[in-house]
Chains A and B, each alone.
Chain A
Amino acid sequence: MSDFNSGFFVGGEACNGRVLVVDDEPDIRKVVKMTLQKAGYAVLEAENGEKAIEVINSGENRLMLDVMICDIRMPKVNGAEAIAYFRSNYPHVPLIVLTGFPDTDMATSFLRQGVVDYLVKPVEGEKLRSAVARAMEQRELARL
C-alpha cells in the first residue's frame, strides 16, 4: 500500500483524503470504513442525507471533504433527493453511489448528474478503492 502513503496528515495519521459514507446501515458504514482506512483514507459517517448535510457544513469539512459515498434507499431525506441536492450544492465534491438495488434508469440519471460511479453492493474492496481513487483525481482537478 506504499503508493497511498503520500498525502497530508489528519490527527497524526497519514491521510490520502477524507471520505464521507452516507448509509442508514451501521454495518455498511463499518465495512466501508474498514476497507478505505486500509488505503489511508479518513472516513466520516452519516446515517442519512440530513446528517450528511450537517457533516458537510460543519467546520473544516466544508473545505476538506474530498469524496462522498452515498446509498439510495434510506429513511428521512431519501438518497435520490440527497444526491440531487449534493450535486447542485456541492458540485466540487465527487460522489459515488453505492446501492443495493441495480436500476439502470436510476444509474443513467445519476451519471448524467455527474456522479463518478454507480456501484452495486456487494462491491469488492479493490473496486471501491479504485472508484475512490478516481474520485480523488476529480477532486484534485476541481482544486486547480
Chain B
Amino acid sequence: MEHSDPTKVAILGAGRGGRALLDLLHQIPSIEIVGITDRDPAAPGLQRARTLHIPVTTNVPDLIGNHGVQLIMDVTGNPEMETYLKAHKPPTADILSGSASRLLWKLIQHESKLEAELLQAEKLAGIGSFAAGIAHDINNPLQLILGLAENLAEERDVAAVHEQALDIIEAVKRTSAICRDLTRYSRRASPHEDVSVSINAKLDEALKIARYASSFHDIEMLKQYQPGAAVKGNPDELLHVFVNLITNAVHAMEQAGGTLTLETRVLGGQVDIRISDTGCGIAPEKIPEIFEPFFTTKAPGKGTGLGLYNVNTIVSKMHGQITVESKVDQGSTFTLTFPHAQPAGEGSP
C-alpha cells in the first residue's frame, strides 16, 4: 500500500456542485475527503457529508491548513474565495477553482445525465416484453365485464344484478390499476430529493411489474418481510432495482421452475434485502462480469446486459452495497445492504 496512500482532498462549497463532487469522490478508494465546508449550514452537501461520516466545518483556514490537504477543490463560485486561497494555501496543496472547477462540475452533470438516459433506455427496452402480460391482465377482466354485462341485459333477479354490477366495478378497478402501475414504472425516475422508502411495499410493487415481464410459470413465492424496513433513496430508482433483480431471478428459473424468496431484515442500523432464486446459478468466474455493461447470457430481445450495471449504479449512489452468492444449478442470492432509515410517517426515534 506504500505508493497508494490516498490523496487528501478538501471540498469548499456544499451546494449542488459540492454534493455531486462528494458523491463522486467518495466512491473512489484512492481519494480521502478530509472535510467539506459551506457558509450555509443547511447546504445539501453538508447533509450528505454527515450521512457519509465526512467531517463538516465552517473553519476554512483550519480545513486547508491543518490536515495535510493535497488538493483543494473550490466550488463556491465565490471570487473572494479564489483570492483568499491564492494567498493562503499551503505550498504542498494544489487548487482547482474558477473555470477548471466549473468545467469539472459540467462533466459531472453530463455524466449523471448519461446515467439517467441509460437507465431509461434499459427500462424501455424491457417494456417490450410486457406486451403478453399486459394483454392477458387487461383482457381477462374485460372478458368478465363483457360476460356479466351481457347477462345483466337479461337478468331478472335483482340480487344477482346487484352482485354482478359490483363484480364489474371491481374488474374495472383492477384494469385501471394495471395502467397506473405501468405508467408509474415506465416514466423517467423523478429527480426529487431522497425520501424514506418502505422496502416491503416497494418489493411488492416490483413483483407486480415483474409479472408482466416474465411468466411466473411454476415459480413458488416466499416472502419474509420484517415490518418497518425502510431506506433513504429515490422510490422510482429502487423500484427499478427490484424489478431487475426479480426478473433476473425468474429468468434463472425459467427451465425448471423453483422458489423465489424475498426477504428484508433490519439489524444494527442496517437493512438487508435479499432476493434469492433456486435457478441456474452463475459460474464463479462469471460473477465479476455480471455487473459489466452489456454482459448478458440471454437472447437478444430478452436481455440487454444493462440490468445489473444500472442496479449497481443506483445502489452505490444510495451508499448501499450489493453482494452475490451463487452456485451453479442451485441458485443465486443477491443481497443489498443500506443504512436503515426512519419509516415515513412515523415519529423520530
CB of B143 within 8 Å of the partner chain: yes
Interface flag for A25 (CB, 8 Å) = yes
CA of A78 to CA of B214, assembled, Å: 13
Q: Are B136 and A122 in contact (CB under 8 A)?
A: no
Contact B147 A34, beta carbon cutoff 8 Å: yes
Pick from B132, B142, B215, B217: contact of A121, CB below 8 A.
B142
B216 at the interface (CB under 8 A from A): yes
Complex CA distance for A117 and B118, rounded to whole angstroms = 44
Shortest CB-to-CB span from A65 to chain B, Å, is 22
Q: Using a Cβ cutoff of 8 Å, how many contacts connect chains A and B?
A: 67
Identify the closest chain A residue to B131 (Cβ): A101
Q: In the bound complex, how far is the Cα of B278 from the Cα of A31, in angstroms?
A: 37
> A26-43 CB contact bits vs B (8 Å, 1 = yes)?
011011101100000000
Q: Does B204 contact A (CB under 8 A)?
A: no
- Known contacts A28-B144, A35-B150, A122-B142; is-contact A73 B218 (Cβ 8 Å): no
The answer to whether B140 touches A28 (Cβ under 8 A) is yes
Kindly identify, within residues 93 to 143 of chain B, every residue whose CB is under 8 Å from any CB belonging to chain A. Answer: 131-132, 135-143
Contact size range, A: 20 to 34
Looking at A32, A74, A75, the one whose CB has the most chain B CB atoms below 10 A away is A75
Q: Which residues of chain A have C-beta atoms less than 8 A from B136's C-beta?
A: 73, 99-101
Q: Is the Cβ of A32 less than 8 Å from the Cβ of B135? A: no
Docked pose: A122 CA to B218 CA in angstroms: 26
Q: Indicate whether A120 reaches chain B with its CB closer than 8 angstroms.
A: yes
Instruction: Check A102 for interface membership: any CB of B closer than 8 A.
Output: yes
Contacts of A103 in B (CB 8 A): 132
Q: Are the C-beta atoms of A101 and B132 separated by less than 8 Å?
A: yes
Q: Interface residues of B toward A: which range?
A: 20 to 34
B218 contacts across to A, CB distance below 8 A: 75-76
B252 adjacent to chain A (CB < 8 Å): no
Q: Say yes or no for B145: interface residue by CB 8 A criterion.
A: yes
- Is B148 at the interface (CB under 8 A from chain A)? yes
Q: How far is the CB of B52 from chain A (nearest CB, A)?
A: 46
CA distance A99 to B145 in the complex (A): 15
Task: List B contacts of A73 (CB < 8 A).
Answer: 132, 136, 215
Contact in complex: B215, A100 (CB < 8 Å): no
* A32–B146 alpha-carbon span in the complex (Å): 11
Asked if residues B215 and A122 are in contact (CB atoms below 8 Å), the reply is no
A124 on interface, CB distance cutoff 8 Å: yes
Q: Do the beta carbons of A75 and B217 come within 8 Å of each other?
A: yes
Give Cα A27–Cα B172 distance, bound, in whole angstroms.
Answer: 13
What is the bound-complex CA distance between A122 and B139, given in angstroms? 6
Which residues from B are CB-within-8-Å of A34? 147-148, 151
Asked if B207 is an interface residue, CB under 8 A from chain A, the answer is no
Indicate if B171 sits at the interface (CB-CB under 8 A). Answer: yes
Q: With A27-B171, A101-B136 known to touch, is A76 a contact of B144 (CB < 8 Å)? A: no
Whether the Cβ atoms of A31 and B135 lie closer than 8 Å is: no
Closest to A103 in B: B132
Which residue from chain B places its CB closest to the CB of A101 in the assembled complex? B135
B residues sitting closer than 8 Å to A (CB atoms) are 131-132, 135-148, 150-151, 167, 171, 215-218
Q: Give me 10 A-to-B residue pairs in the complex whose CB atoms sit less than 8 angstroms apart, sorted by A's number.
A: A25-B140, A34-B148, A35-B150, A75-B217, A76-B217, A100-B138, A103-B132, A121-B140, A122-B145, A124-B146
Partner-B contacts on A (CB < 8 A): 25, 27-28, 30-32, 34-35, 73-76, 78, 99-103, 120-125
Q: Identify 14 new A-B residue pairs, CB closer than 8 A, beyond the known A74-B217, A99-B136, A101-B131.
A: A25-B140, A27-B171, A30-B144, A32-B147, A35-B151, A75-B218, A78-B217, A100-B136, A100-B137, A100-B138, A101-B135, A102-B135, A123-B146, A124-B150
